[in-house]
């Protein structure tokens, strides 16, 4: 077993994409709660969930960013894939900075049970940049085909197995 499996995942089963789903979902929840709080829908409860979701998003960002960074290190520099992946990484770092600033500055909002206008704006800007980063990340996978195996006739049992098979490693290479 290769040691890189710990930070990259198996061939055909990379770690970064499912972590992005969790992180993006948590930040989406935070954004929805900020909007609902500002609209007056159960302000205290939605403000509480907003701030906790921001913090949870920051926590899940750590392994998500690390696994993405390790994948990025494997890309040949200067290629179109590298440029797209670098733009994706930059957008996600900028979004993380917005969410971190929002969580730090918004702690008093959390304590007071309300989301201020400035906290809402920061959350929305962070979410907009996150959406752009997610779009670019989708391009890395669905346009450039990074870490996608094209084993169309791989039997289901082998395709879903939590172990690598030689043809999967060969297809990823």
Contact criterion met (CB below 8 Å) for 68 and 16:
yes
Least Cα distance to 113 among 58, 168, 21, 47 occurs for 47
Does residue 171 surpass a pLDDT of 90? no
Q: Is 14 helix (H, G, I), strand (E, B) or coil?
A: strand
Q: Is the pLDDT of residue 117 over 90?
A: yes
pLDDT of residue 125: 98
How far is it, in rounded angstroms, from Cα 37 to Cα 30? 10
Residue pLDDT, tens place only, 13-53: 788 999 999 999 999 999 999 999 999 998 889 999 999 99
pLDDT number for residue 173: 67
pLDDT at 111: 85
Q: What is the pTM of this model?
A: 0.88
């Amino acid at each position: 077993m290769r040691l890189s499996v710990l930070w990259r995942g198996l061939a055909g089963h990379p770690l970064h994409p499912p972590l992005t789903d969790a992180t993006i979902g948590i930040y989406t929840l935070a954004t929805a709660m900020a909007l609902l709080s500002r609209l007056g829908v159960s302000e205290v409860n939605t403000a509480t969930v907003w701030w906790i979701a921001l913090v949870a998003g920051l926590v899940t960002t750590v392994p998500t960013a690390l696994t993405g960074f390790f994948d990025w290190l494997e890309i040949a520099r200067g290629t179109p894939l590298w440029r797209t992946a670098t733009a994706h990484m930059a957008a996600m770092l900028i979004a993380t900075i917005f969410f971190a600033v929002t969580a730090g500055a918004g702690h008093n909002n959390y304590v007071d049970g309300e989301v201020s206008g400035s906290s809402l704006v920061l959350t929305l800007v962070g979410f907009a940049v996150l959406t752009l980063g997610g779009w670019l990340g989708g391009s890395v996978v669905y346009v450039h085909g990074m870490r996608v195996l094209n084993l169309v006739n791989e039997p289901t049992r082998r395709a879903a197995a939590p172990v690598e098979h030689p043809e999967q490693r060969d297809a990823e290479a």
